[in-house]
Amino acid sequence: MQNHIETAIKSAVKERGQPADLAKKLTAWMQALSVGNDNIDDIQRAMQRVSIIFETTTTDTKGR
């Protein structure tokens, strides 16, 4: 079942033209939550994760 999640993330990331690194980071987060290394209610940890995935996400706002 974990494969389904990983595949779904990769596919969604690719469809939106985002770097493969973003899929890796999201998958890593899901896996950390899954095995209990991360707790979804740990806001501080979650904000660190979110900050990293925001940095990895690309946009063209600044280029307009």
Partner 1 sequence: MAADFFLLRWKSEGLRCPDHEIKLLESGDNPRGVTLIQMPNGTGKTTTLSLLRATLSGDAVEWTNTHLQSFRKRQSSATSGRFLVEGVFDGKRLTIILELDFEEGKASYSTTVGSGKKTGFLPPRGLHRFLNRDFVRLFVFDGEEAARLLDHKYTNAHDAIDNLFQLKFFDGIEQHIRDYWAEQTSQATALAGKGLTQRRNRVDQLQLQLKTCEAAYALAQAERDRAQDQLNKKTRKFDQQLKKRRNYHEALQLAETALADAKTVVQQQAQKLLTRIRDPFALSAKTAADLLALRANLDRVKLPESTSREFFDELAGEEECVCGRPLTQECKTHILSHASRYLGTEDVVFLNTMKSDIATMMGTDPAAHANELQGATRQLLEHMRDEDLAWTNRDSVRSKAVDDDPALKKIVAEIAELQASADKSAAEVEKYENTDESEENICGIAVLKKRLSEAERKVAEITHTLDLKEKRDVLVAIVQAAQKAARTAISEQTVNEANERIQTLMPMNRVRISAINKCLVLEDQEGGSMGETLSVAYAFLATFFNSADNRFPFVVDSPAGAIDLEIRARIAELVPRLTSQFIAFTISSERQGFCDHFLAKRSGTQYFTLFRKGDTTLERKARATKGSAETEDGLLVPGAKFFREFQLESE
Residues numbered 8 to 37 that lie near partner 1 (CB under 8 A) are 8-9, 11-13, 15-16, 18, 22, 26, 29-30, 33-36
CA dist., res. 26 & res. 10, Å (int): 9
User: Count of residues binding partner 1 (CB under 8 A)?
Assistant: 35
Please state, in angstroms and as integers, the Cα–Cα distance from residue 40 to each residue in 16, 59, 60, following that order: 25, 27, 30
Footprint of partner 1 on this chain (CB under 8 A)?
Answer: 1, 4-5, 7-9, 11-13, 15-16, 18, 22, 26, 29-30, 33-36, 39-41, 43, 46-47, 49-51, 53-54, 57, 59, 61-62
